[in-house]
Amino acid sequence: MKIIKILYILGAVALLFGAVARMFLPEYYAYIYMVGAVVFAVSQFLLRPRNCTLALRRLVMQQQLAGLLFIAAGVLMFTHTHNEWMMVLTCGALVELYTAYRIPHEQDKQ
């Protein structure tokens, strides 16, 4: 479980670095981002809590959806030459931000 948490953090860092690297490494940014997005999303699926309330399960499913949106943004980086991927990335980031705030709140209520 500790290795998965470390991979979760490394995936998030690679995801962020890949999104920012577009300015500095335009030929490699999509690869860096995609590796980070896949590691981040897989970690989210593996770290889901087992025994939880309905509200917490809903929030975890939303968090997993955000991970899938990150992967979709990476696919758009490869398939489209314009900036369509930024909209998908923004949606995923907003959902991830919401769930990152709400999940600990729900866990404290239990």
d(CA 98, CA 105): 11
The pLDDT tens digits for 28-86 are 999 999 999 999 999 999 988 888 889 999 999 999 999 999 999 999 999 987 889 99
State the pLDDT at residue 83: 86
d(CA 75, CA 82): 13
State the pLDDT at residue 51: 81
State the pLDDT at residue 52: 84
What pTM did the predictor assign?
Answer: 0.92
Helices (H), the chain: 2-20, 29-46, 54-79, 84-109
85 near 77, Cβ under 8 Å?
Answer: yes
State the pLDDT at residue 1: 81
